[in-house]
Amino acid sequence: MTEPKAAAQTPGHALVTGGAGFIGSHLVDGLLADGWTVTVVDNFDPYYAESTKRLNIAQHLDQRNYRLLQVDLRDAAALHAALDQPFGGADKTGYTVIVHLAAKAGVRNSLLDPLGYQMTNVIGTQNLLTYAYQRKIKQFVFASSSSVYGDCPRLPWSENDLDLLPINPYASTKLAGEHLGYVYSRTFGLRFVGLRFFTVFGERQRPDLAIHKFSRLMLAGKAIPVYGDGSSERDFTYWDEIVSGVRASMAYTGSDYEIFNLGNNRTIGLLDTIRKLEDVLNVKAKIDWQDWQPGEMRRTWANIEKPQRLLGYRVKTDFDTGLRRFAAWLQERLRLEGGKAG
Ligand SMILES: NC(=O)c1ccc[n+]([C@@H]2O[C@H](COP(=O)([O-])OP(=O)(O)OC[C@H]3O[C@@H](n4cnc5c(N)ncnc54)[C@H](O)[C@@H]3O)[C@@H](O)[C@H]2O)c1
């Protein structure tokens, strides 16, 4: 079998939504380093602190090829007007590719605000697809989620499974985004690459996600909430693999619609995760046992044969290494924040 070539794409102008967030800011770091012009759309959604996102992007702001459009995806007129503003000279006004990462993320919060999730994740995605079609931007990469698999019993989860039944509002908005993408590829000529990310971790991880949330509580000497009997498992994926998968998808031309799992193909139990956190943080966890939460997934596990074959996707960073890097980053973040963990 011939190895797919790693994406060596000529730098163009990337439109990155959600570029102030965890994954988006890492992607933008790499794009700017490789000579891309980057326009970021981000409204600094209050799901977590704006100051955290400002720290994520501090190194981008003085770069000549970078601009930040603080605009809300839900407002089609404002979004389209902002995106139409030329940037970087006549040769740089058109976008080569859209990477749509902006979303209301987080399963638990989606149970509290299902309409808010629909508005940003479905209407917002629709507004961006409309813009891509009107401006003839061919390549559209979309951040979907492992959560679309719901309770799918056929593990590890494969993109060939089409009868998916999500079990929380967040997941249903992500599946809706994939379906909208299919419409735009099949009927309007876009190339849509949907990427199902599996629990992403590492430096700058969202503060609501377990590793980050637990670490802060543990360092503050507080108890960590564990739902159910602690037997849930996650296929944790280090951010760098996700960014590599996104970059390969930006250059992908093999078909006009494709869905890929971006995961690790290895699951880790919640209690094991806590034990490993105790090691890297050098602190003992206190556990606050709570009832199982509706809408939560018991296990996520990615089959990654397809992205390996078609995108040249490779897992390079093991969980322990990623966790050590996260812990070192968190210590530095806490110092910048004035030392208060919890
Ligand atoms: N982190 C994970 O484990 C994970 C797993 C699966 C899927 N995803 C998906 O990957 C993407 C990035 O996730 P992340 O963890 O970096 O999240 P994040 O919250 O750090 O980043 C998302 C960004 O989108 C912005 N945003 C939200 N609503 C917006 C709106 N209406 N208009 C403009 N910008 C808006 C936010 O301000 C934020 O900066 C999301 O689509 C998420 O659903 C993430």
The pLDDT-based confidence of 171 (bands split at 50, 70, 90) is very high
Q: What mean pLDDT comes out for the span 212-233?
A: 96
The pLDDT-based confidence of 93 (bands split at 50, 70, 90) is low
DSSP string covering 15-46:
EEETTTSHHHHHHHHHHHHTT-EEEEE----T
- pLDDT for the residue numbered 98: 98
Pocket test for ligand 1, best of 206, 249, 333 (most atoms within 8 A of CB): 206
Is 238 catalytic? The answer is no
Active-site option among 170, 184, 238, 252:
170
Q: Which helix (H) or strand (E) holds 173?
A: helix 169-186
267 pLDDT exceeds 50? yes
Q: Is the CB of 106 under 6 A from ligand 1?
A: no
- pLDDT for the residue numbered 5: 47
Query: What's the CA gap between 233 and 324, in Å, rounded?
Result: 20
Pocket test for ligand 1, best of 41, 42, 44 (most atoms within 8 A of CB): 42
- What is the number of the ligand 1 atom nearest to the C-alpha of 73? 32
6 pLDDT exceeds 60? no
Q: For 101-120, what is each residue's pLDDT tens digit? A: 999 999 999 999 999 999 99
- pLDDT for the residue numbered 89: 57
Q: Whose CA is nearest to atom 19 of ligand 1?
A: 21
Mean pLDDT rounded to a whole number for the chain: 95
**Secondary structure letter of residue 90 according to DSSP:** G
Q: Whose CA is nearest to atom 7 of ligand 1?
A: 145
Report the percentage of the chain scoring pLDDT > 70.
95
Q: For 29-75, what is each residue's pLDDT tens digit? A: 999 999 999 999 999 999 999 999 999 999 999 999 999 999 999 99
Q: Domain residues of the chain, as ranges? A: 13-200+238-263+303-316
pTM above 0.95, yes or no: yes
Grouping H, G, I as helix, E, B as strand and the rest as coil, residue 252 is coil
- What is the number of the ligand 1 atom nearest to the C-alpha of 17? 34
Q: Is the CB of 241 under 6 A from ligand 1?
A: no
Q: Is the CB of 212 under 6 A from ligand 1?
A: no
Q: Measuring CA to CA, how many Å separate 51 from each of 20, 41, 58, 121?
A: 10, 17, 10, 23
CATH 3.40.50.720 fits 13-200+238-263+303-316, yes or no: yes
The pLDDT-based confidence of 3 (bands split at 50, 70, 90) is very low
Identify the CA nearest to 322 among candidates 202, 193, 183: 202
337 pLDDT exceeds 90? no
224 pLDDT exceeds 90? yes
- pLDDT for the residue numbered 85: 94
Pocket test for ligand 1, best of 25, 101, 148, 180 (most atoms within 8 A of CB): 101
